[in-house]
Chains A and B, each alone.
Chain A
Amino acid sequence: MNGTEVVAGALQTASSEISIWTMFWNAHFVVKVVMLGLLASSVWCWSIIIDKELLFRRERRSMDRFEEVFWSGQSLEELYRALSERPNNAMAAVFVAAMNEWKRSVENSGRAVTNLTQRLDKVLDVTIQREVERLESKLLVLATIGSASPFIGLFGTVWGIMNSFRSIAASKNTSLAVVAPGIAEALFATAIGLFAAIPAVIAYNKLQAEAAKQQARVEGFADEFSAILSRQIDERIAAE
């Protein structure tokens, strides 16, 4: 009688519903925390991906427009006036910063021209650095999620399996039907970890490459603009 009851009981528990929800709900507290943390990190990671993707697209478009305007032969004064209020991309920010310095040095009496080139270079460098930082901000979060969440998921799995083995030892019952729910719950943690990590890694690589491309573009523009300005400075010095 005993044996058959045990058999029947185990079969019943095995055949009872194992939906995703019950799997989560029956999991150990630590595993639950791990799962929720991984889910939150996945939400965060996707929000960063979406934001960055939109930002880069905007930047690229406005940089294209700015370059078009800049090389169209339009007066730099006009361009400066149009953009000085609110520079809408990295290139414009670099341009505005350099023009600010130029104007302050040249138009306020025209005395401080000697070291203007060095000062302009400094300003350009600082602005580029700030803009690149803005572009690359939060990408480190993606890298962290991408590399850490599989381990976090694995931790949840190991913890869950450890627990289910402990309950095997307690119930002295080695049937697969008894072990299976615990292991399924535990593996669910790894699944969520991978679910968060895979997009994070892919997006990190893509966005990092995009940021590097835009940085190179801004640096190229800064070099060209600094060359234009230094030519102007030299012409002024020669004229005086």
Chain B
Amino acid sequence: MAINWSEPGLPVSGAIHVLCIVATLVAFSTPPKFEDMSESVPVEIINAEEPNQIAKGEKSAKEAKPDPKPRADKVAAVTETKPDSAMDKRDVVTPPSRPPSTEPETKPTPPQPPKVAEPVKPEPPKPQPKEEVKDEALLKAEKKPEPPKPEPPKPERKPEPPKPEQPKLDPTQLAKLIEQSKPAQPKADPNTKPFNPNDIKKMLESKEKPAMAASTGAEVNKTASLGAPNATGPKLNPSQKGQFGDAIKDQLSQCWSPPAGVMDGHTLKPMIKFNLQPDGSVIGQPVVMNDQSSPAFRAMADSAMRAIRKCSPFKIPAQFAPFHNDWKDTTVIFDPKDILG
């Protein structure tokens, strides 16, 4: 095709366009990439002593009671499960409702029976002095109706001793015995005053609150709490901590299905803290520690919360059971790569 030099527009413009296209293809062959955001790695600085301490353990630490029980005077009508904060620790015993299948070896449970037995011990001594007094004052006691006692065992015992000694009844000693027994009675049972009709009015009038309200619990426990081994209890060492985290993550991997279509999973890692009871059940509301407002993150966090609720109760391996204080606040980072992959 011969070029018409008076009108060279078409070939010239075609050549220019070809050049332009080639130039753009070369210049824009690779799009400029955004710099990948580098994530900061948290570094923890440890003294030289600390690993030693972790390895040896703390010799001066208090011995942890496997299942500390607060004092309870009454059996609570309603038991509520709450995350144990500093406030609730005193009053409420959350009954460990452990499903038998979830944990084969349960350390905390065996000590319970002796504990229950303990509170009963102080009671027997109380009736004893009363009986002695009654032995002396048995004759009088027979005639005088005993003030009603709240405790059921007493009425059973009282009728028994008088029977064999009834033949000894000496009318001459009656007056003496009455005098002896009268002061003895209040001493024997200082809690229960002899019924005095004059006091009725007084009793009705006194509107003051009792100095000590009976604390309630799942079981009656008369001994005062010996203190929870909170702060100085045995600690998991770092490798155990890792094992525990892996155990929790293992279980979560079966409960968690992250929302499909959340693409940048490498940036969305909800960090969720939840409270575990000794039996592995979750109490209270899991809390998102690194909350973000993006809907994708919300979806991720919600799915993580669901997973925690679904997995509850977690199966706690037996070797971690004594360290409840160290893992009762557990924080899990829901990283799909870590948990699912």
A associates with B: yes
Interface residues of A (CB under 8 A from B): 1-4, 6-7, 10-11, 15, 17-21, 39, 42-52, 54-55, 58, 172-178
Query: Other CB < 8 Å A-B pairs besides A6-B260, A7-B263, A19-B31, 6 of them?
Result: A4-B341, A20-B24, A39-B21, A46-B12, A54-B6, A176-B263
Q: Across the interface, do B8 and A4 meet the contact criterion of CB distance under 8 Å?
A: no
CA–CA, A151 and B33, complex, Å: 31
List 14 contacting pairs A-B, 8 Å CB cutoff, sorted by A.
A7-B265, A7-B336, A17-B30, A19-B25, A19-B29, A19-B30, A20-B29, A43-B14, A44-B10, A46-B17, A47-B10, A173-B263, A175-B264, A176-B263
Neighbour of B13 across the interface among A3, A20, A47, CB < 8 A? A47
Q: Across the interface, do A175 and B340 meet the contact criterion of CB distance under 8 Å?
A: no
Residue of B nearest to A52 (CB): B9
Q: Across the interface, do B336 and A3 meet the contact criterion of CB distance under 8 Å?
A: yes
Q: Across the interface, do A4 and B265 meet the contact criterion of CB distance under 8 Å?
A: yes
Q: Which of chain A's residues have a CB closer than 8 A to the CB of B337?
A: 4
Known contacts A1-B340, A4-B336, A19 near B28 by CB under 8 Å = yes
Q: Which of chain B's residues have a CB closer than 8 A to the CB of A19?
A: 25, 28-31
Q: Would you list which residues of chain B between 292 and 341 have a CB under 8 Å from chain A?
A: 336-337, 340-341
Interface of B is mostly: loop
Rounded to whole Å, the gap between the CB of A40 and the closest CB of chain B is 9
Q: Across the interface, do B9 and A46 meet the contact criterion of CB distance under 8 Å?
A: yes
Rounded to whole Å, the gap between the CB of B270 and the closest CB of chain A is 13
Q: Across the interface, do B340 and A3 meet the contact criterion of CB distance under 8 Å?
A: yes
B266 CB-CB contact with A under 8 Å: yes
Q: Which of chain B's residues have a CB closer than 8 A to the CB of A3?
A: 257-260, 262, 265, 336, 340
CA–CA, A172 and B260, complex, Å: 9
B205 CB-CB contact with A under 8 Å: no
**Most chain B beta-carbon neighbours within 10 Å: one of A11, A46, A177:** A46
Neighbour of B263 across the interface among A21, A39, A175, CB < 8 A? A175
CA–CA, A43 and B12, complex, Å: 9
Interface bits B1-37 vs A (CB < 8 Å: 1, else 0): 0000011111111101100010011001111010000
Interface of A is mostly: helix
B261 CB-CB contact with A under 8 Å: yes
Q: Which of chain A's residues have a CB closer than 8 A to the CB of B258?
A: 3
Neighbour of A49 across the interface among B9, B24, B28, CB < 8 A? B9
**Most chain A beta-carbon neighbours within 10 Å: one of B8, B9, B21, B266:** B9
Rounded to whole Å, the gap between the CB of A21 and the closest CB of chain B is 6
Q: Across the interface, do B24 and A177 meet the contact criterion of CB distance under 8 Å?
A: no
Q: Across the interface, do B8 and A51 meet the contact criterion of CB distance under 8 Å?
A: yes
Q: Which of chain B's residues have a CB closer than 8 A to the CB of A176?
A: 263
CA–CA, A45 and B10, complex, Å: 9
Residue of B nearest to A195 (CB): B20
Known contacts A39-B17, A47-B10, A7 near B266 by CB under 8 Å = yes
Q: Would you list which residues of chain B between 243 and 270 have a CB under 8 Å from chain A?
A: 257-266
Q: Which of chain B's residues have a CB closer than 8 A to the CB of A174?
A: 261
Rounded to whole Å, the gap between the CB of B269 and the closest CB of chain A is 12
Q: Across the interface, do B17 and A42 meet the contact criterion of CB distance under 8 Å?
A: yes
Q: Across the interface, do B336 and A43 meet the contact criterion of CB distance under 8 Å?
A: no
Q: Would you list which residues of chain B between 262 and 297 have a CB under 8 Å from chain A?
A: 262-266
Neighbour of B340 across the interface among A4, A18, A58, A173, CB < 8 A? A4
Q: Across the interface, do A2 and B260 meet the contact criterion of CB distance under 8 Å?
A: yes
Rounded to whole Å, the gap between the CB of A127 and the closest CB of chain B is 21
CA–CA, A51 and B14, complex, Å: 13
- What are the 4 closest A-B residue pairs judged by CB atoms, nearest first? A47-B9, A46-B13, A175-B263, A51-B9
Known contacts A19-B29, A20-B28, A42-B17, A54 near B8 by CB under 8 Å = yes
Residue of B nearest to A2 (CB): B260
Residue of A nearest to B266 (CB): A7
